Amino acid sequence: MNYQNNQRMNPVTFLIAGALVVVLLLMFQPWDGSDTLQRGGEPGMGNSDEDREPYSQGIMEADLDFTVDEFINTARDLEGAPYQSGGKDPEEGFNSSGFVQYVYEEATGIRMPRIAGHQYELGESISKSYLQKGDVVFFEGNTIMSGIYTGDGHFMTATESSGITTLHLENDSFWADNYIGAKRLTDKEIEALHPSTYKDHDHPTVQEAMNYLGTPYEFGGSSLEAFDCSYFVQDVFRESIDVYLPRVTLDQYKVGEDISEDDLQPGDVIYFSDVDIENSDREEGEVTHAGIYTGENFMIHASRTEQMTQISYLNDYWKDALTGIKRFDGMSLNGESPIVQEAAVHLTTPYQKGGSHPGEGFNPIGFVRYVYEKSEGTTLPSSAKSIWNNGTEVDSNSLQAGDILFFEGNYNLLPAIYAGNDQFFIASQSSGVTTRHLEHSEYFSERFAGARRY
């Protein structure tokens, strides 16, 4: 009895012993504080409840012709370059997103978005403890700003006071307080944003479209020096697969094969309403923008927002504005009409009263006669009435590419060249040499007089 009582541990002694065990266990646990190097991360950058090893190694393991050190050196070579709102190159200066875009393209060829908010929508979220060189870091003040992580807690960005400069994520209070996260491009995004991916693409239109990357945007622009979204689509399809589309987005959307979202394929054209609008005169719900689908949820388009032709991710902004999808492959003339191909060369040539040569401009009769002479060696009569009288009459249901269409003008017949798929070329006073649609062009559909073949 006394023996058993002596062996029973006093409750206070039990609690003290238990506490000692806990202390000893904690002493021998490896410390996981923020002042040591975490696996795959940087020292002193802290940890978060959302820490996990990223799936992507980003540009570190990209199959591209550069090294990470070369990438960082490209950024560091710009140190001290001036700040410029909206700037995107060393000559004019940079804002933060323009700096990120420039370094990525210059060092790797990757076409990052122009706007920081669009950059933020890409990539895998990366916690501070897993940051690596080349990751894009983001901050939110009055707007979202971006920068390039260069290692050891440092990053580079463009500031109004210092231009391109190096700062620290923890030690520079403004940036530490406004830090909202970091992103690393995934393997699929790197592939989708790099033009070399499309060099041997199965669809010729996607291949051709890449030749226009970086071309300045201009609303109504109708030359390769600067253009808008509909000219881009029109020119790419003509050059790549011999398809002749209307000049205006709204008219393009009226032709071609309707495609469901489930059947969307590279080379299809995506149309949007009420977005990327140059002026506010457009009607609500009107088709206002178009881009060529490249695959993996990306498109290439002449972007007013980016002010250039760019590869863009189809984010919620675009998906919410999606109006429809068109496939134009079935409209190809397959190079079988030299007359149409020659006519297309002169698109946007200005109208000139009495004009009969591209150097001076065209009127309708001068345009048709020039194209026939150049492509076929055929000298047509000198007046529209004589062309009408001497040609072989063609029923409107039997039209072939290269036939001559006639429309009733105020005083004379107006000749045009049929391009197939109810499209035709005509030299108009308002647009110069342009394309119109037999059914959807209200002015011409009401004035169609007939067709002749030579």
pTM, two decimal places = 0.80
What is the CA angle 304-117-191, rounded to 5? 80
CA–CA dist 379, 180 (Å, integer): 70
Asked if 274 contacts 268 with a C-beta cutoff of 8 angstroms, the reply is: no
CA–CA dist 200, 334 (Å, integer): 20
Query: Does 62 score more than 90 pLDDT?
Result: no
> DSSP labels for 38-66?
PTTS-TT----TT----S--GGGG-SSS-
pLDDT tens-digit series, residues 399-411:
999 999 999 999 9
CA–CA dist 404, 410 (Å, integer): 19
DSSP run (H or E) holding 371: helix 364-376
pLDDT tens-digit series, residues 329-366:
999 998 889 999 999 999 999 999 999 999 999 999 99
pLDDT tens-digit series, residues 367-406:
999 999 999 999 999 999 999 999 999 999 999 999 999 9
Q: What is the mean pLDDT of the chain?
A: 88
Query: Does 23 score more than 80 pLDDT?
Result: no
pLDDT of residue 301: 98
Least confident segment among 14-18, 64-68, 167-171, 346-350: 14-18
218 or 19: which leads in pLDDT? 218
pLDDT of residue 29: 39
Any idea which residues carry the catalytic annotation?
Answer: 229, 289, 301
Quick one: residue 48, left, alpha or beta (phi over 0 = left, psi -120 to 50 = alpha)?
Answer: beta
Say how many C-beta atoms besides its own lie within 10 A of residue 454's C-beta. Answer: 15
pLDDT tens-digit series, residues 103-118:
999 999 999 999 999 9
Q: What is the mean pLDDT of residues 135-164?
A: 97
pLDDT of residue 442: 85
Query: Does 33 score more than 90 pLDDT?
Result: no
Quick one: residue 416, left, alpha or beta (phi over 0 = left, psi -120 to 50 = alpha)?
Answer: beta
- pLDDT band for position 92 (50/70/90)? very high
Q: DSSP secondary-structure letter at 47?
A: -
- pLDDT band for position 7 (50/70/90)? very low
pLDDT tens-digit series, residues 248-293:
999 999 999 999 999 999 999 999 998 866 655 555 678 999 999 9
pLDDT of residue 44: 36
Which of 103, 109, 305, 304 shows the shortest CA–CA distance to 221?
304
Which of 261, 246, 252, 236 shows the shortest CA–CA distance to 322?
261
CATH numbers and ranges of domains, the chain:
1-193 (3.90.1720.10), 198-331 (3.90.1720.10), 338-453 (3.90.1720.10)
Of all residues in the chain, what percent carry a pLDDT higher than 90?
79
- pLDDT band for position 57 (50/70/90)? low
Least confident segment among 21-25, 48-52, 117-121, 313-317: 21-25
